[in-house]
Amino acid sequence: MSQKLLLRALSGEVLPRPPVWLMRQAGRYLPEYRAVRAGGGSFLDLCYSPELAAEVTLQPIRRFGFDASILFSDILVIPDAMGQGVRFEENVGPILSPRIEKYSDLAILNTEKAVKRLAPVYETVRLLRKQLPSDVCLIGFAGAPWTVATYMIAGAGSRDQMAARLWAYRDPEGFAALINILVRVTAEYLIGQVRAGVEVLQIFDTWAGSLPEPEFRRWCIAPTKEIIRLVHQEFPDMPVIGFPKGAGPLYQDYSIETGVAGISVDPSMALKFVRDHLQSSVTVQGNLDPLLLVAGGAAMLREAERILSLMNNGPFIFNLGHGIVPETPPENVGELVKFIKQWQS
């Protein structure tokens, strides 16, 4: 049996204290990250530079001693690798051009090009496996097809994902063609990460909560299920964590139908529902509000204690309900990790 806490939790084991890692644990809140970023060119240049990407992945492990490390990259490397230009503008976010707005636009996407373009990411994984402490688990990831598609269609982030939702309503067959491309390329990308050495995968569906139930089933559950099926064809025992942010009660159907080993829940989820309806069949990950990590102090620790107390009778991974925000004081992260590692039920 593996001694890595994250793998033990994802196998269904109930541990004396849960493994802890945080989404976006490598990033702008750390001064050492900002120092690397200042000399690393564009954000995507950093993602495609194995030595630098490995360095920033390792920074929070050195500083805080997390039980898991997540590959430093971005969900939008997939469209970028296929030939849709992606750039990140300060205080704006990602800009994608040209937009993929209709079926005929799919012709610009070159799936064969993606294989070569993503090679540096696999090299980052190989470097990390050599450098990570032996008890730290390495997580790979990708964006879910629905969420990635919303950026490709709008050409940027959006509050309501209107452009993608309208295409899906007006031309479901054409929209399905884009989703199917993303399923295939995403599965290949995740399989490549596993071959290079990742031990766990996470699929981020950040905008899952914007869809009504029928569309959620078609565009979130079904594509994720197919990606996991393809991964498990080659690596049957590879644990996958799903994160359909904002799914509400549909978290339950997602966790049952997709084949995930773990389900990451956002801060809006009532933990008694999570405990009673999810944790009996899947490992739960979550769900501290990232702003409590900014606030720190008694409020942060009080909520961490509540989460730990509610979830300690089933398989559990302590995490945030979404990623660390740049305003987070690093000392608060250190205090939280220390608290969790010392906690006993």
Q: Which of 263, 328, 321 is nearest to 296 (CA)?
A: 328
Q: Which of 77, 64, 78, 81 is nearest to 20 (CA)?
A: 64
Active-site residue, selected from the candidate residues 29, 33, 122, 151: 151
The set of residues, in sequence order, having a beta carbon less than 8 Å from that of 104 and lying 6+ positions away, is none
Q: What angle do CA 227, 250, 281 make, to 5 degrees?
A: 75
- Which ranges of the chain would DSSP assign to H, the alpha helix? 5-10, 31-38, 43-47, 50-64, 77-82, 111-117, 119-131, 145-154, 162-170, 172-196, 213-216, 222-234, 250-258, 271-277, 290-295, 297-311, 330-342
Cβ neighbors of 91 (< 8 A, separation 6 or more) are none
29, 37, 205, 251: which one is catalytic? 37
Q: Does 126 participate in catalysis according to the annotation?
A: no
Look up 45 and say whether it is catalytic: no
Q: What are the DSSP calls for 27-61, one per residue? A: STTSHHHHHHHHTS-SHHHHHT-HHHHHHHHHHHH
* 20 DSSP 8-state letter: B
What values do phi and psi take at 289, rounded to 5?
-65, 125
Structure tokens at 331: 């000392």
Query: Is 254 a catalytic site residue?
Result: no
Query: What's the Cα-to-Cα distance from 69 to each of 54, 127, 154, 228, 256, rounded to whole Å?
Result: 10, 13, 31, 21, 26
Tell the residue number behind the tokens 């470097």, with chain if given.
127
Q: Does 129 qualify as catalytic in the annotation?
A: no
- Helix, coil or strand: residue 250: helix
- φ/ψ of 263, rounded to 5, equals -130, 120
Does 151 participate in catalysis according to the annotation? yes
Which is catalytic among the residues 17, 28, 99, 129?
A: 28
Q: Of 8, 24, 48, 165, which is the active-site residue?
A: 24
Q: Which residues are catalytic?
A: 24, 28, 37, 74, 151
